[in-house]
Structure 1
């Protein structure tokens, strides 16, 4: 799981913890949280990757599937998330990505719709169903059905793509 906001006063870490508490109830899922606030990624893309960039890309490479927790800022996703996505490249290929989005009234849906083509370009598969939270109505416990649906899809795609990558190298 990647927590995409690095803004002071963010709620992404709280939403991330909520999602982890739901996902940990399922057998067969091992979660690692990559909170972007904990990575000192450079503001400019360096000629030689820094240790932080290498560490982040390696963590992405080890994952079988991803859940991106993203806010919606000004009808889009945060720059910190785009920067992190760009620091990994081949590591995203042929892996599924689900979304937990949040915002005020919008549920973060605009951020997700802009993230889909980014991940498509990286040859990742995005889940149709996601978890959307309206911060105007703090009802985290009511959205478990959305968590289940997304995790069902993410698990299916994760297993299918793992088997496919094992059977033959991905061609891009």
Structure 2
């Protein structure tokens, strides 16, 4: 049997606010990914990509992007085989910066899987559902499972609440994290194989 390489996974931090909470779930998810031997994961922080609001003539599905920052972003995400989005819920959807980052590429997201870790009163459930519908349009594959930090767990760890470490609530998160990562790796291998066979 031909052993495929390990999928490369980007954990994309989808908030850029100076006071964001996102770093804590991002680092926790990185730790879960790095504890496994079936993927390679790293953080990709939107703060490191000063993307303009989308202003190209069209999606790069139809025309190459012109803005150097957009092109650098496309090159960054193209290196990965799958994605874990760190999702804050803003008014029942994802953040504006994450939506803009998704819009700034198309070909690079195409036929790759993703999952999410969301946080908020309802665990960012509505934002993650919105992310999934965007992913469909980008021809991505969503896992069924995601990690949701919500309700009392969120208020225990949020800075203006209990401000406890995520490790204090991780027993509630570990089962969904394992399932989401299992599904992500399965789909990453499936889509990597399919993309390779379509090139040959």
Q: How many Å separate the matches in 2 of 1:23 and 1:41?
A: 27
Q: What is the aligned length?
A: 168
TM-score in terms of structure 2 length: 0.80
Counterpart secondary structure, 1:168: helix
Q: State whether structure 2 residue 91 is matched by structure 1 residue 74.
A: yes
Answer with 1 or 2: which has the greater Rg: 2
From 163, 178, 186, give the equivalent of 1:148.
Answer: 178
Cα contact 2:123–2:148 (8 A) shared by 1: yes
Q: State whether structure 2 residue 145 is matched by structure 1 residue 129.
A: yes
Counterpart secondary structure, 1:32: strand
What pairs with 1:27-38 in structure 2 (closer than 5 Å)? 27-38=37-48
Counterpart secondary structure, 2:156: coil
Q: How many Å separate the matches in 2 of 1:140 and 1:66?
A: 24
Per the TM alignment, residue 28 of structure 1 is displaced from its structure 2 partner at its CA by 2.5
Residue number in structure 2 paired with 1:107: 123
What pairs with 1:1-172 in structure 2 (closer than 5 Å)? 1-46=11-56, 48-103=65-120, 105-134=121-150, 135-138=154-157, 139-142=168-171, 143-169=173-199
Residue number in structure 1 paired with 2:161: none
Q: Which runs of 5+ in 1 are unaligned?
A: none
